[in-house]
Structure 1
Amino acid sequence: MKHITTYLAPTILLLILLLGSMIILFFTGNPSPQNQLIIPVVLKTIDTNMEFWQVVKNGMQVAAAENGVSLEITGPWLESDIEGQIEITKNIISGHPRVLILSATDLNKLVPLVQQAKDLDIPVVTLDSGVNSDIPVTFVATNNIEAAQKLTQYAISQISPGKPVAIINHVPGATTAIEREQGVRKILEAEGKNPILGTWFTNNFQEKAYSITMDLINTHPDITAILAMNEVSVIGAAQAIEETGMTGKVKLFGFDNSLQEVKYLERGVVQATVIQKPFNMGYLAVKAAIDAVHKKKLPKFIDTGSVLIIPDNMYLPENQKLLFPFIE
């Protein structure tokens, strides 16, 4: 009897502790892994060489960690692989996620899938590149028309009147490509000082931007400037300009801020670049997706801002933070 009594008190104490823990867990509602919100993200490209998208993902991961949600980030390797992105998005929608973040490779071709998501009560947040539809609950992006106008206004202050310019763009059908070209043309046509030779598309291949620039320099010896609409276009064009000894003679104005672009800016090959805020873009897209799941009202457009970087301001502390964002 004494032997039983010896173990009885600790056993009762252990049962009380277990019961208390169960009560605490019940009332605090500690989430199980099965109940954690999983946010699927379909990007235009998962190419790890694209620094812009690495920073976008970093912003997303910070927002996810802060809010206790999980991300499943996917997309085609090539930004020009529209059909590949369509198949990826179809598969995700078929799994009935609670929300979807989408950066569309094409303005129109992704619309049917966005409609399908709506029919299944899946809110869609578009990121960087939108779709031709009012269905997405919000669009998190740079105001690309405004950013391109800002770039072009600076460009025309740096080039000689009467000399032609060219536009090198990335993927036809992407809203970023469409809107940036609109912004460029609006300023150039309004000023009427520099004829536009035309628009050439790279399909997001650096070597294509390089060959386009080589052809432009060879066939248009009086060309005075190139406006390149994304990171890949800028790097390819800069490489051709530098190799042909045309630095400063053919001025280059672009978008984004990869390390290579910054080096070209320091060497005078690039005269200006518009920096988006990709960390903010990724962070705010995840926050918006969480709000959409909880049925919170969102603005139709969340402008993440842009900054024009030129040699005179690139070393300012606030701009150095934008030029060299933290990438995991």
Structure 2
Amino acid sequence: MFENRSRSTLALGTFLMAGSLALGLTACGGSSSDSVKVGLITKTDSNPYFVKLREAAQAQADKDGAELVALAGAFDGDNEGQVSAIENMVGQGVKGILITPNSSTGVLDAIQNARDAGVVVIALDTATDPEDAVDATFATDNKAAGVSQGKWVKAALGSTAPQVVMLDGTAGGTVDSFRHEGFLEGMGLTDSSPEIVGQENTNGDQTKAQTAMENLIQRAPQTNALYTINEPAAAGAYQAIQSAGKAAQVTIGSIDGSCTGVADVKSGKIGATVMQFPAKMAEQGVQAVVAFAKDGTKPSGFNDTGSQLITDKPVDGLESQDTTWAEANCWG
């Protein structure tokens, strides 16, 4: 889908510049030449979620005396750029690569080549498909998070028949499919249910979500429930809903747990969100690479870093925390 060659060239240039910057910063930090080198590849370097993940990885690397090489995609969905980043990191001699894959299938060949070269590869946040394409995954159980969102929205609607719009993320990612499927399970619906009155992909982008919601609410003015892939999408959708004079009509659920998202829950823009813990993913990933470098121990399997439903409107039978707790535990 991203056939524009110039964009790929730009993405690679961005990776190389980011890699040089990461190396320069590490050198200024005083790491030794024989320290363990850990690679981190995120989807973008602007999303607060991935900023937090990178900051936590850097802090853990500093604590463990390791050197972090941090690269990021030029845009959400930059699969070719991530492939180039993997190849770049293998060439730099990293012991392990932590990656949040833009596509759960599009980087598999590059990952296999890295593993064949003796590099341990760990997926953070987003699982590969198949999951065992990497040595291990440290991530939120995204289906469980989606189920929590769906159950809360369903309970919040009470006896009102749901008319649901779904603002998804980027097609092809396991995070997107797991959250989508989980939400529907929590609501007791399927993709073919007549209660689903609209759906759009937003890449998790606030502006795209606002535009999508403006269009959807014109086509389905009866909408009373909204699934969002993340909090930026929820914020964009809220702007469209408010402008349409339907803020009191639509119940919004989301996933992320950023401090901005928690503030939106507290103000009533979002009814509930499901908090993730990206710092745990990064910390555990760095620790796993350092352990592998020291004694050859490889991490394995799926490692759930947890999630927590956040709302100031709790419902019976569904465990949650309020925004006061969330403010003390949010990220970004």
TM category (shorter chain) comes to: 0.7 to 0.9
Larger radius of gyration: 1
Q: Which residue pairs with 2:174 in the alignment?
A: 175
Q: CA deviation at 1:130?
A: 2.0
**Per-residue deviation, residues 199-234 of structure 1 (Å, max 9, x unmatched):** 310123321100111112111111111110113212
Q: Distance in 2 between matches of 1:84 and 1:315?
A: 37
Q: Distance in 1 between matches of 2:51 and 2:125?
A: 13
Among 85, 89, 94, the alignment partner of 1:92 is 89
Q: Which residue pairs with 1:230 in the alignment?
A: 230
Q: CA deviation at 1:74?
A: 0.6
Q: Which residue pairs with 1:67 in the alignment?
A: 64
Q: Which residue pairs with 1:282 in the alignment?
A: 282
Q: Distance in 1 between matches of 2:65 and 2:133?
A: 27
Gapped regions of structure 2 (runs ≥ 5) = 1-29, 314-320
Q: Which residue pairs with 1:301 in the alignment?
A: 302
Q: Distance in 1 between matches of 2:54 and 2:260?
A: 20
Among 38, 55, 58, the alignment partner of 1:58 is 55
Q: CA deviation at 1:261?
A: 2.3
1:320 matched to 2:321: no
Q: Which residue pairs with 2:247 in the alignment?
A: 247
1:162 matched to 2:161: yes
Q: Does the CA-based 8 Å contact 1:80-1:204 persist in structure 2?
A: no
Gapped regions of structure 1 (runs ≥ 5) = 1-30
Q: CA deviation at 1:193?
A: 8.8
* Aligned counterparts, 1:1-328, within 5 A: 33-47=32-46, 50-133=47-130, 134-159=132-157, 160-189=159-188, 195-293=195-293, 294-312=295-313, 313-317=321-325, 319-323=326-330, 325=331
Letter in 1 for 2:310: I
My pick for the range that moved more, 182-191 or 94-103, is: 182-191
Gap change, CA 1:39 and 1:267, over 3 Å in 2:
same
Q: CA deviation at 1:137?
A: 1.7
Q: Does the CA-based 8 Å contact 2:94-2:119 persist in structure 1?
A: yes
Other structure's SS at 1:34 match: coil
Q: Number of matched residues?
A: 292
Q: CA deviation at 1:255?
A: 1.1
Gap change, CA 1:267 and 1:315, over 3 Å in 2:
closer
Gap change, CA 1:76 and 1:127, over 3 Å in 2:
same
Letter in 1 for 2:156: Q
Q: CA deviation at 1:198?
A: 4.2
Q: Does the CA-based 8 Å contact 1:235-1:260 persist in structure 2?
A: no
**Per-residue deviation, residues 277-321 of structure 1 (Å, max 9, x unmatched):** 11111111111221232321424111110000001442444x322
Other structure's SS at 1:57 match: helix
Other structure's SS at 2:70 match: strand
Q: Distance in 2 between matches of 1:316 and 1:269?
A: 16
Q: Distance in 1 between matches of 2:206 and 2:258?
A: 13
TM-score, with length taken from structure 2: 0.82
Letter in 2 for 1:74: L
Q: Which residue pairs with 1:4 in the alignment?
A: none
Other structure's SS at 1:33 match: coil
**Per-residue deviation, residues 14-65 of structure 1 (Å, max 9, x unmatched):** xxxxxxxxxxxxxxxxx98210111111111111xx2211221222122112
Gap change, CA 1:135 and 1:81, over 3 Å in 2:
closer
TM-score, with length taken from structure 1: 0.82
Q: Distance in 2 between matches of 1:288 and 1:231?
A: 30
Q: Distance in 1 between matches of 2:59 and 2:146?
A: 29
Cα-Cα RMSD: 2.2
Q: Does the CA-based 8 Å contact 1:96-1:120 persist in structure 2?
A: no
Q: Which residue pairs with 2:9 in the alignment?
A: none
Letter in 2 for 1:39: V
**Per-residue deviation, residues 154-212 of structure 1 (Å, max 9, x unmatched):** 11001254331011111111111111111112233459997112431012332110011
My pick for the range that moved more, 88-97 or 240-249, is: 88-97
My pick for the range that moved more, 68-77 or 232-241, is: 232-241
Other structure's SS at 1:221 match: coil
